[in-house]
Structure 1
């Protein structure tokens, strides 16, 4: 009940109060002081201030013309950026794809080198799981244009469809008895 009353009081005549606040005169700016600590400028000196701002200061302009800035990227960082851009622009055709639009993905026909599509990753991991002697990390790296280090990490740390069934109760369970 109290919240309804406070809401009515707070929202009473809001639009009129907002227009009144907007149309109110803006606050005056603080007076400008002289650099030597003298008396502040009056309102009558306002034209002289604008003249000072717009007047051309030749000594400052000549010092500004003397400034010359030259910047260069470090060589090592620049080469790394160029190499990553080249890798991103190189693309390879997909080895495998699902028919239609699975999982809402649009038709992708190629991927950047060093990357895998979802279907290719699952297939590669499944091949490695079923035939680890044939589908080694080196073979996967060569087949899918991957970095050998990435292919090794892929085979070591990702396990597709790894289902483990744990029996509920072993038959030879020993119970602790109180004697």
Structure 2
């Protein structure tokens, strides 16, 4: 309700106010700096103004004689270099029955792991760290040694820890 009233007051007699504002005298232009007076006078000479607005016939003829023809080069099909062709390896382990849409993947590029393989490698290292060293994981899954070390150091899956109560007597909630 309040916005309607303010809009009506704001738009009241709007056209007359606009015409009155337009009819006002324009503000004077700020005076030029005295140092630019010489530059302005140099460009205001009649010879220069005449040469600017005059047609230059020789230049016009030269411009008309120029003909530019451009063609796009034929598109070349992208060819991978021998170094760019990815070597792929078959998955070592995958989930059965397509639970997460991952089973469609049958191979991965060398130097990479699927999520299932990463979890399996972490599990094997956690169970037996002496046999499943970073070097063996790198060899088994075709990884760089630094990637295998980074996997074991920084990729930590969920670790569930059950903290037993301090006392053997536990309180039970009774349903009423």
TM-score by length of 2: 0.49
Decide which structure has the larger Cα Rg and report it.
Answer: 2
TM-score, with structure 1 as normaliser: 0.48
